[in-house]
Structure 1
Amino acid sequence: MIVDCAIYRDGHRTESPQDFSDALAEARARGDSFLWIGLYEPTEREFDLVTEEFGLHPLAVEDALKAHQRPKLDVYEDSLFVVLKPVTYEPEHDTVTAGELMVFLGDSFVVTVRHGAASPLAGIRRLLEQRHDMLRHGPTGVLYAITDAVVDHYLEVAAELTGDLEELEGEVFSPTGGSGYTASRIYGFKRQVMEFRRATVPLSMPLTRLAGLGPFVESVPFVREQSRPFFRDVNDHLMRVNESVEGLDRLVSDILSAHLAQMSVRQNDDMRKISAWAAMAAIPTMIAGIYGMNFQHMPELHWLWSYPAVIAVMGFLEVVLYRTFKRRGWM
């Protein structure tokens, strides 16, 4: 459905149009106006009207309706199609949830399509309506504000994940070595990092094109040439986010390896203790087994001190074994 629709003239919001075609023709004729339509999870029938009026490419329309896209930038004859994945962090459950935000950019119009709850569009629109200098840049200013808000929120989520990782480190390297659920927590955290990485890493290529960096020296259609420094700033922030994501991914893998190594060492210690106690139990068992064979010709059976002597020998051997194992750290 259409969440918001307005004409922006010379950086100021004006009336909501009754007819998209007439509003778009007027905006193009004036040169200082553009039309911004915001939709939330539209159906195919609801999106048909926007598609016909703005001449959106059918492939981009299909992507916008079905969602589940990677961040990307596609250039078509009459429009520019940008896919972003805003994310939210839920500290109660330590989970990262990604939404989808599609932006159609063309001559004097912007169409935004939102899927999922994670979207900063409402706040961006209110902020832009207070910054008339930004709105005067037209659709380019809207695209910059959206990408900047999404990437800046990535930085906040990366900081939250870093804090969770420090808690996991403290748990793994504590004297107890963590609980039985530590491995599952580490694996769950790694999945959250992977979900975050799916949103941030593919966005590097679209921002590089918008910033005109590397091999992408040609300007992107429907985006003003003067906006490249602003997109370079957003790209710098994204590079910081991706570096944080790479570091989180490596660290969580190292923590998982360290936890598994600690579990293996702890199991080896337990096996040594069990083996030591089994060896100590084998001494009296062996001696008792020998004297339980009922042989007739065993001279020590007729000695007066044979029973106390056997008990003393067993006790002496037990003490020797205990001190030996204790010295080696097996007990």
Structure 2
Amino acid sequence: MAEQERGLSRALSAPVRAVSQILRPTTNPPSSPTPNGPGLVDFALYVDGVRQEGEWTFKEAHEAAQRQGKAFVWIGLHEPTPDEFADIAEAFDLHELAVEDAVKSFQRPKLEQYEDMTFAVVRTARYMPHDELTETSEVIETGAVMLFIGEHFVITVRHGAAVRLKPVREELESRRELLAQGPWAVFHAVVDRVVDVYLDVSAAVETDLDELEASVFSRDRKSNIQEIYQLKRELVEFKRAVFPLQRPLQVLVSGQISSLPKEPRRYIRDVNDHLQRVVEQIAAYDDLINSVLQARLAQVTVDQNNDMRKIAAWAAIAAVPTAIAGIYGMNFDVMPELKWKFGYPFILTLIVVACAGLYRFFRRSGWL
């Protein structure tokens, strides 16, 4: 009887030991040291939405994830060097073209499908607070996030400081049911955070535009064309980050990527709706700033015309004493009133009266 109980105990404990060996990193010395470096921000293995404890090499973590049904590896990198990325590329068999793009700082938003991996590029943006808008103000700072998405891994590569991904990871780890959906859940969370920041940037830019529009049409007219053009340039930078993202999201929403599960696709559709709102806002801002710029240019033209009229009016007034003094400065012997006692006072009175009459005429006509 005791022998039967011991046999039953060994039979029940065998599956537990098997699962434990899969989830627990090997006790043997790893083939390569635990990955670290200045470019590595975070690295973890997730099983059914739960972060697993222990130290792993990239290859060991990937192999452990492949042995599980709902497991994947999430590696977070920040501006890695080619040498830092080489081990990751080898461990996850990443395509060399995608690796080359990921190391570079700026890429156009895109979605590329490889054999068993999807490579996505998302441009990030954030608003830079400033006391007042000047011709050199940096209004919007942009960066990029690259994502390698496989069946059992997701690798995020961040360039710039526009959007940080640590809060995204913390939020996902607190929502186990969402993180259990796999690497595409990470993609959705990252893009959702990026688009949410787009909305914040759009609201801040709208405030700047309102202030700029008010200053252009105010009596003081403190704004100049350089400030308007600087804001337009920053808006174009924002536009370059937002508009190209429409096509990748539309590809995902339309179901052209077979590896994208149905549930994450619903969440991505919601992100796409938010993106369309930002696109519409930017288009409206672009039209508005063009109108403001045209209005300011028209004001400059009107001001220049007013200045020219004032100059012409004062030139006409100055021409009276100039002409009279020029005539009497010719030193002719026979001229009217040369020998007249009141000739000098008469000429001065004539100059004053003529100038005053011209001044009154130009004032009434709006030239002065």
| Length-normalised TM-score, structure 1 | 0.92
Structure 1 residue 312: Cα displacement: 2.9
Question: Which structure: larger Rg?
Answer: 2
Structure 1 residue 299: Cα displacement: 4.3
Structure 1 residue 105: Cα displacement: 0.5
Aligned length: 324
Q: Pick one of 158, 161, 174 that aligns with 1:114.
A: 158
Question: How far, CA to CA, are the matches of 2:233 and 2:312 in structure 1?
Answer: 39
Letter of the aligned partner of 1:126 in structure 2? E
Structure 1 residue 132: Cα displacement: 1.1
Deviates more, 1:297-306 or 1:287-296: 297-306
Structure 1 residue 77: Cα displacement: 0.3
Can you list the C-alpha shifts for 1:131-167, whole angstroms capped at 9, x where unaligned? 1121111111111111111001000001111111112
8 Å contact kept, 1:73–1:81? yes
Match of 2:176 in 1: 132
Structure 1 residue 191: Cα displacement: 1.5
2:76 paired with 1:32: no
Structure 1 residue 298: Cα displacement: 2.8
Question: How far, CA to CA, are the matches of 1:22 and 1:311 in structure 2?
Answer: 105
Match of 2:267 in 1: 230
Question: How far, CA to CA, are the matches of 2:116 and 2:336 in structure 1?
Answer: 111
Structure 2 unmatched runs, 5+: 1-38, 131-136
2:213 paired with 1:175: no
Identity %: 48
Superposed, which structure 2 residues align to 1:151-230 within 5 Å? 151-178=195-222, 182-212=224-254, 218-230=255-267
Can you list the C-alpha shifts for 1:11-43, whole angstroms capped at 9, x where unaligned? 221124513333323323321211111112222
Question: How far, CA to CA, are the matches of 2:246 and 2:105 in structure 1?
Answer: 20
Question: How far, CA to CA, are the matches of 1:222 and 1:127 in structure 2?
Answer: 24
Letter of the aligned partner of 1:309 in structure 2? F
* Structure 1 ranges of 4+ moved more than 4 A: none
| Length-normalised TM-score, structure 2 | 0.83
Letter of the aligned partner of 2:271 in structure 1? V
Letter of the aligned partner of 1:280 in structure 2? I
2:45 paired with 1:3: no
Aligned alpha-carbon RMSD (Å): 1.7
Match of 1:45 in 2: 83
Structure 1 residue 53: Cα displacement: 1.6
Q: Pick one of 53, 60, 63 that aligns with 1:22.
A: 60
Question: How far, CA to CA, are the matches of 2:175 and 2:336 in structure 1?
Answer: 109
Letter of the aligned partner of 2:325 in structure 1? A
* SS at 1:113 equivalent: strand
Match of 2:122 in 1: 84
Letter of the aligned partner of 1:114 in structure 2? R
Deviates more, 1:80-89 or 1:247-256: 247-256
Match of 1:248 in 2: 285
* SS at 1:222 equivalent: coil
